[in-house]
Amino acid sequence: MVSLGLHIFDERYLVNLQSRGDACPRQRPFSLGRIHHLGIVVPDLDAAVAQFADLYGIEIRLFDTKPYPCRINGADQVWKTQIGLSVGEPPHLELLRAVPDSVVWDYAPGIHHVGFTVDDLKSAANALEVAGSPIWMGGVKDGDFPTGATYHHDPFGQVVELLDKATEARLTAQLKCASPDSAERC
């Protein structure tokens, strides 16, 4: 088997493509890694947590509301955001509280984004930009950009989030701290 980006192809399939003269899938400059979460923006976070528990049996733990310094469409901003993550191992379900007047966290039915963990956020974000998926939003810390995470619009109009490993580790630790059984203080 040969790994090409997100796809796994049997070597015989590649040989058949090449012998027929079809375009061979190209090697990607990075791997998106694994899916960390599916993000859904909701108008009422508490109601959504209860609804996901009642309808689907999915336990979502809420994190505290925090200011999030970010750059959206090239402009530095700070928004108060709140999320919740499903309990357990990735992939998680992430619920995000809708933020009025935000172009990023505005409520709309359906999946808002797919979040992937990457080894090197800046390199992966740059590679997506070069491939036609510009950064829509990214974290800013001490003037450094992007940090923590980026959102990209892909050519199909979907939103892809890239998370660095430090952000994934922080979210995992927060998820454990949010547990009602946890003795840890976050």
Give pLDDT, residue 178: 61
Domain presence at residue 93: yes
Structure tokens at 78: 């700070």
Domain presence at residue 91: yes
- Residue pair 86/59 in contact (Cβ under 8 Å)? The answer is yes
Give pLDDT, residue 11: 38
- Residue pair 91/36 in contact (Cβ under 8 Å)? The answer is yes
Domain presence at residue 184: no
- How many domains does one find in the chain? 1
Give pLDDT, residue 176: 84
Q: 47 lies in which domain range?
A: 30-177
Domain presence at residue 157: yes
What's the CATH number where 77 sits? 3.10.180.10
Low-confidence ranges of the chain (pLDDT < 50): 1-22, 24, 185
Domain presence at residue 151: yes
pLDDT tens-digit map of 61-115: 999 999 999 999 999 999 999 999 999 999 999 999 999 999 999 999 999 999 9
Contacts (Cβ under 8 Å, ≥6 apart) of 93? 37, 38, 40, 52, 58, 60, 85, 86
To 5 degrees, how large is the angle CA 35–CA 36–CA 38? 85
Q: Which residue from 95, 97, 65, 62 is spatially nearest to 80, judged by alpha carbons? A: 65
Domain presence at residue 13: no
